Amino acid sequence: MARSEQEFHGKIDITYDESEPWWAPYPKPPEGAQNVLFIVLDDVGFSQLSCYGGLCETPNLDRLAQNGLRYNNFHTTALCSPTRACLLTGRNHHSNGMACITEGATGFPGYNGRIPFRNGFLSEMLLPHGYNTFAIGKWHLTPVQEASPAGPFDRWPLGRGFERFYGFLGGETNQWYPDLVYDNHAIDPPKRPEEGYHLTEDLVDRAIEFIQDAHVVAPERPFFLYFCPGACHAPHHVPREWADRYRGKFDMGWDRARETILERQKEMGIVPANTELSPRPEEVQAWDTLAGDEKRLYARMMEVFAGFLTHTDHHIGRLIAFLEELGELNDTLIFVVSDNGASAEGGPTGSVNEGRFFNKVPESLEDNLKALDELGGPTTYNHYPWGWTLAGNTPLKRWKRETFQGGTTDPLIVHWPKGIRSRGEIRTQYTHAIDLVPTVLEVLGIEPPAEIRGVDQSPIEGISFRYSFDDANAPSRHVTQYFEMFAHRAIYHDGWRAVNPHPFGKRVQPEDLQAGNWELYHVAEDFSEVHDLADKEPRKVQEMMARWWAEAGKYNVLPLDGRAQERIGERKPQIAEVRESYTYYPGGQPIPESVAVDVKNRSHTITAEVEIPDEGAEGVLLAMGSRFGGYSFFVKDRRLHYVHNYVGVEEYRITSTEEVPAGMTSLRYVFTFDGGAPGSGGTGELYFNGRKVGEGRIPRTVPITFTLAGEGLCCGWDSGEPVSAEYDSPFRFTGHIRRVIVDVSGVAPRDLGAEMDMALSRQ
């Protein structure tokens, strides 16, 4: 019960002298309570950390592993937001309404993207026990339509039990120009890349600051820190010197890398000695078949990823060193996990500018080679090819988004020297993301609460693995676990695993539910799912299918939905109805693209009502996007300009033939869409007080999305990276903007398939 709601235990009489005062006590942590630290990496595969046999050096995480435990049988949901919901609640992803991503939410309990308040977060459970609670970095658990300055804020971090938050709400962000939120409001990064800024360093600085702020006042209070860097999700952004550490180290290619990693894993005991490499999927090219320029580009893409991971490890090391300096490292219960298997969203060739990928604008080898020396820097938005994805999941089958082991099996390091006698050992007990919360509660001696803020709580669905800390041979207590992602299904039970590999985006048909579509693996003997035993063990297949259906009924998995583009286009509740006129005012916070006026693929008008001083003014009137795509309406050199940045490939400019007049003025841009498919062109016109002063063609327009990583709509300035090379951000308007009105009409065509691809790539 909250302090303010506790029953008064004093005495109230007629006068003060006859009465007895009473103050509600502050909550006290359990005797000897440990700090709790979750470090959640993003898109880091089973074999990418060096302590799991990987070729990326992670000495600080290795140190945690050497002084703690590594689990080789830890599992996730195969996608980001669903796993993170499991990690924080101890309930399965469908129980949390987080079957996939909020962008793909549908109107069913397991799929609506709204984690129910009856599924309390660990942060909410620990607050009444005297814990400080901090969330740093990636969140991506707020419904997309609620992640705006209008809220509602009850599903933002501060609404779910975290006292402080610093990070980004979406699935990814630019590491050089991040979309930052501090508590419940957007802020600018404290520095720019040319001043040495990088998001990971900033996040660690802020984590240290939060802990330190609380510690100097109440050093006895424990903390729960949920630390989630954007690494190593695309874009793979890192200072060049970190990528250069790996020069030439991946010239061997992904096929040889897989063999090398498996050898290391066997030597370490990470995998059983009889483990085989899963077959290379047909769509992944053999490295030896690639041309020389392809090998050079793809090897550099992997060097950049490796540098990104090592750079992240370095800054995590600063956080660990701070805890050690405080004298609290050994008494902090640390879990290091990844949210899913390595990501294959870079496709067969990788990407230098994912803005082109999301908008279906092909990249050529020639274009990408030109950017070779810039990979990882502010001018690129890069991702590696899926051959490296496969290597990052060695020896497992497939990757993120699918329920084979490559999508669902991830590293788990547990470090707690004060409470774990074992050092540097490997644990083989079956564990899942839902198991972290009950493990923490058992270690702390806290019972799951019956209610939180007046809401009755659902049962915890995970199983504590505290029993395994000092008993390597203890049998697994988590015996059964279901998986489902876009109707791609799997079930684990007591050493066996059955998988139904449903094609992504395909509607589920009755024939898809038959036994013949299931594969069967005895993973207790076949770690990497190489030998399909379905034909030899039909009764086992039937048994596993029956178990899957039982779990599906228990945890809100139905109805099975393999759709992709229809899910992204399905109408969801909105805090404000879509309208034809939007009014914006200068300053304030960037407006996310998901709730901003949508000018794509439709005729529209932008009208800025401004006051220009006699000496003139300059700056942005309205801008959306970044160097990788967007538009900007601005004044420079006394002229009015409109720039449409076509996915970072070309800027189409229209400039007024006259200088902007002083005084109260109406500055207008009118775009007449040609019609046709998304991305078609049109004609733009500029007006002063209703008089045309400029005209030009916009031959191609951004069809799907302006923003890659949350750069929102800004009135009176341009956040993050500038949309146009014509100015540097923030380029604030030096006159007075009364308001900017954007009128839109007609129904804009959409490419729902591309929108779903984009949303999933941001997980």
Residue 3 pLDDT more than 60? no
In this predicted model, what pLDDT tens digit does every residue of 117-133 receive, in sequence order? 999 999 999 999 999 99
Nearest to 131 by CA among 85, 162, 157, 90: 162
User: Residue 88 in contact with residue 121, Cβ under 8 Å?
Assistant: yes
Residue 280: is it exposed, middle or buried by C-beta count within 10 angstroms (0-12/13-18/19+)?
Answer: middle
- Residue 164, phi then psi, degrees to nearest 5: -140, 145
Residue 572: how many other CB atoms lie within 10 Å = 17
Residue 629 pLDDT more than 50? yes
Question: Which residue's structure tokens are 């019972």?
Answer: 447
On the question of a cis peptide bond just before residue 559, with omega within 30 degrees of 0, the verdict is: yes
Confidence of residue 2 (pLDDT cuts 50, 70, 90): very low
Q: How many residues are recorded in the chain?
A: 763
Helical residues (DSSP H) of 327-361, grouped into ranges: 354-358
Residue 633 pLDDT more than 90? yes
Residue 76 pLDDT more than 50? yes
Q: Is it true that domain 480-563 has CATH number 3.30.360.10?
A: no
577 or 431, higher pLDDT? 431
Q: What pLDDT, on the 0 to 100 scale, is given for residue 573?
A: 81
Which tokens sit at 435?
A: 């198991």
In this predicted model, what pLDDT tens digit does every residue of 324-351 receive, in sequence order? 999 999 999 999 999 999 999 999 999 9
In this predicted model, what pLDDT tens digit does every residue of 470-519 receive, in sequence order? 999 999 999 999 999 999 999 999 999 999 999 988 899 888 888 789 99
What is the rounded average pLDDT for all residues in the chain?
Answer: 94
Confidence of residue 673 (pLDDT cuts 50, 70, 90): very high
Q: What pLDDT, on the 0 to 100 scale, is given for residue 754?
A: 53
CATH superfamily of 35-468: Alkaline Phosphatase, subunit A (3.40.720.10)
At 169, which amino acid appears? L
- CATH number listed for the domain at residues 581-761: 2.60.120.200
Residue 566 pLDDT more than 80? no
Residues 6+ apart with CB under 8 A from 324: none
Residue 111: is it exposed, middle or buried by C-beta count within 10 angstroms (0-12/13-18/19+)?
Answer: buried
Confidence of residue 753 (pLDDT cuts 50, 70, 90): low
Nearest to 224 by CA among 133, 330, 121: 133
Which tokens sit at 546?
A: 């029956």
Residue 26 pLDDT more than 50? yes
In this predicted model, what pLDDT tens digit does every residue of 302-329 receive, in sequence order? 999 999 999 999 999 999 999 999 999 9
Measured CA to CA, the distance from residue 354 to residue 374 in angstroms comes to 15
Residue 270 pLDDT more than 90? yes
Q: What pLDDT, on the 0 to 100 scale, is given for residue 37?
A: 98
Q: What pLDDT, on the 0 to 100 scale, is given for residue 761?
A: 54
Name residue 584's beta-bridge partners.
Answer: 740
Give the rounded percent of residues in the chain with a pLDDT score beyond 90: 85
Q: What pLDDT, on the 0 to 100 scale, is given for residue 145?
A: 86
Q: What is the DSSP string of 396-438?
A: SSS-TTSSSHHHHEEEEEEE-TTT----SEEE---EEGGGHHH
Q: What pLDDT, on the 0 to 100 scale, is given for residue 61?
A: 98
Measured CA to CA, the distance from residue 443 to residue 129 in angstroms comes to 14
Residue 667: is it exposed, middle or buried by C-beta count within 10 angstroms (0-12/13-18/19+)?
Answer: buried
Q: What is the DSSP string of 532-555?
A: --TTT-HHHHHHHHHHHHHHHHHT
Q: What pLDDT, on the 0 to 100 scale, is given for residue 1?
A: 39
In this predicted model, what pLDDT tens digit does every residue of 372-417 receive, in sequence order? 999 999 999 999 999 999 999 999 999 999 999 999 999 999 999 9
The full 3-state SS of 573-635, as one line of letters, equals CCCCCCCCEEEECCCCCCECCCCCCCCCCCCEEEEEEEEECCCCCCEEEEEEEECCEEEEEEE
User: Residue 397 in contact with residue 278, Cβ under 8 Å?
Assistant: yes
Domain ranges of the chain: 35-468, 480-563, 581-761
